[in-house]
Amino acid sequence: MLKDILKILENDARVTSRQISTMTGKPVAEVNRTIKQAEKDRVILKYKTVVNWDKLEEEYVWALIEVKVKPEPEKGFDTVAGRIAQYEQVRDLYLASGTYDLLLVVTGKTERKIADFVSQNLAHLEGVQATETHFVLKRYKADGEILDNGEGVKRQRVVL
Amino acid sequence: MSPKKSENPDFLRSAVADRANRLSPSGIRKFFDLLASMEDVISLGVGEPDYATPWHISEAAVRSLEKGYTMYTSNSGTPELREETARYLHDRHAVDYDPYGELLITVGVSEAMDLVMRAVINPGDEVIMPEPYYVAYPSCVLLAGGKPVLVPTRQEDGFEIAAADIEKRITPRTKAIFIGYPSNPTGAVMPKDKLAAVAAVAEKHNLLVISDEIYERLVYGGAVHTCFSSLPGMKERTVLLGGFSKAYAMTGWRVGYAAGPREIIAAMTKIHQYTIMSAPTMAQVAAVEALRNGEDDVAEMVADYNRRRLFIVEGLCEIGFPCHDPKGAFYAFPNITAAGLDSETFSEMLLREEKVAVVPGSAFGKTGEGYVRCCYATSLAEIEEALNRMKRFFQRHRRK
């Protein structure tokens, strides 16, 4: 039941409880209860919209930042990751295998803002040993959606 | 652009063979022309998935083109695809076909249907089929020189065909029973016991059965599709038609198959060899990938169709268009008689006034009158908007 609802909402968060009720065959009250509980349990974190800002020619800069961290005894990377996560510029934060430890997805109004974040905030954090910033030149796909899908496919209007 | 007038119309009219002239032109041509001329239409009139083919399937074909697999294949289809199809039919339906002799890869089920009719029908042979029917069924029989014999099926029976109704229509000229479940246009699925009754009739009267199972994977709400040739004793008298278009969203690839008794498949292969050569090579490669690695895609699409199915069926019933529960394919087949219009007028007015396209039930035979076919393989948002518009339309026109 919960999984069915999550599948529907993950694809379109604007579907109403009543519609979900029809699609799952469960009463509206039960759908509402399940969603409320999922929100409480933080299974559902937030309802957001996938926006292609490029269409508005907004100056929006994205960067991927690799961070090398000296792990703390017992806590490993969690303390420094917890601090980095607090910055609102950081959209995503992962601990990854490979030559660096943390991978950040950062957005800012200008490249300068991101440069400032790296030099003034990130580099000074205790445990951060090195950073490498990759500015994003073009976004092709976000949250599973291909951003510029060209003309789109045209279907026939009637097929018997 | 106005069509150019022919300079010698009489000569050209007489140039068209009787065989082609006998085919009834689609009775709803006028409706199609209107539809083509309009903008911003929400169409529930399509008969194909709204998904693109899963990328790994398309990619297999792209890779094969890069490697230069661009030649004809064996007339019967690639050994890989025949073997995978045989494995699939064994695993899914527990029916065993020899990939070398009992399977033929075709250009979609459409070609397979034409081949089987031409392979088994002698002039005047009768083929019994349910009505409402998929539009090509009677035409294929006619083209082969046969005579379609229609068995009306009804909403109150879930549009399932009754063995007794078939038996009543059997004559010394009856050659075959032609069924297509899950059904386009009704969405009906035949329960196993009713199919077994059809099987008993086929056996008793020594008839062939042609079973078009292109929608076999699209069944919902606990319904189970039974493969006709898996019924006891039926494999030897059944030609099973199947394909990849609906389950794997591969309509444009044009690849399907026929599985049946060696003698009939050999006859079909002869015709296929002279008219088609072989099904498209890249499409056969894609179909192999679909059979090997496409199960997750099918499961996901079926779950998604089901959500939309429940949504549209409830919506149509609420408006006042009662709808049997369509357990298969991706069509709802609501009864629209409460609007007081015949199905073609209903469809045309709905299109003009609310820009929603549905297919008049009359396109699928006389018993389709009073119904329209609504395909729910379109986005939920569009279905919702289409239902709103149909509701508005109904409130304006309902019989006072």
Residue A62's pLDDT is 93
Residue B12's pLDDT is 85
pLDDT in tens, chain A (160 residues): 899 999 999 989 999 999 999 999 899 999 999 999 999 999 999 998 888 887 887 778 999 999 999 998 888 999 999 999 999 999 999 999 999 999 999 999 899 999 999 999 999 999 999 999 999 998 898 888 888 767 666 777 777 7
Domain membership of residue A78 (yes or no) is: yes
Q: Is the pLDDT of residue B170 over 70?
A: yes
A8 contacts B307? CB cut-off 8 A: yes
A22 contacts B310? CB cut-off 8 A: yes
- ipTM, two decimals: 0.72
CATH number at residue A64: 3.30.70.920
Residue B3's pLDDT is 60
Residues A34 and A106 in one domain: no
Residues A134 and A60 in one domain: yes
Residues A85 and A128 in one domain: yes
Distance to chain B for A14, nearest Cα, Å: 10
Domain membership of residue A147 (yes or no) is: no
Tell whether B357 is within 8 A of chain A (Cβ): yes
**Residue ranges with strand state E in chain B:** 42-43, 103-106, 126-131, 147-152, 174-179, 208-212, 238-243, 256-259, 331-332, 356-357, 359-360, 372-375
CATH code linked to domain B55-293: 3.40.640.10
CATH superfamily label, B24-47+297-395: Aspartate Aminotransferase, domain 1 (3.90.1150.10)
Q: Which of A12, A24, A160 sits opposite B363 (nearest CB)?
A: A160
Q: Which of A21, A23, A28 to mutate to test the interface with B (most CBs of B within 10 A)?
A: A23
Residues A59 and A104 in one domain: yes
**Measured distance CA(B209)–CA(B260) in Å, rounded:** 10
Domain membership of residue A154 (yes or no) is: no
Question: Do B24-47+297-395 and B55-293 share a fold?
Answer: no
As a whole number, mean pLDDT of residues B171-189 equals: 98
**pLDDT mean across residues, chain B:** 95
As a whole number, mean pLDDT of residues B114-118 equals: 98
Q: Tell me, what amino acid is at B170?
A: I
Chain A contact set for B251 (CB, 8 A)? 159
Residues A92 and A121 in one domain: yes
pLDDT band at B255 (very low <50, low <70, confident <90, very high): very high
**Measured distance CA(B88)–CA(B243) in Å, rounded:** 12
Query: Taking a contact as any Cβ pair under 8 Å apart, which residues of chain B between 270 and 309 contact chain A?
Result: 303, 306-308
Number of structural domains in chain A: 2
Q: Is the pLDDT of residue B138 over 60?
A: yes
pLDDT band at B30 (very low <50, low <70, confident <90, very high): confident
Residue B37's pLDDT is 87
Please give the residue range of the domain that contains residue A105.
53-138
Total residue length of chain A: 160
Q: What would the pLDDT profile of B46-74 be if each residue is shown by its tens digit?
A: 888 999 999 999 999 999 999 999 999 99
Residues A25 and A99 in one domain: no
| Residue B305 near residue B280, CB atoms below 8 Å | no
Chain A contact set for B36 (CB, 8 A)? 157
**Measured distance CA(B383)–CA(B311) in Å, rounded:** 8
Closest residue by Cα to residue B130 from B156, B150, B158, B154: B150
Residue B400's pLDDT is 60
Per domain, the residue ranges of chain B are 24-47+297-395, 55-293
Q: What would the pLDDT profile of B363-396 be if each residue is shown by its tens digit?
A: 999 999 999 999 999 999 999 999 999 999 999 9
Domain membership of residue A122 (yes or no) is: yes
Instruction: Name beta bridge partners: B219.
Output: B328
What does DSSP assign to residue B328?
B
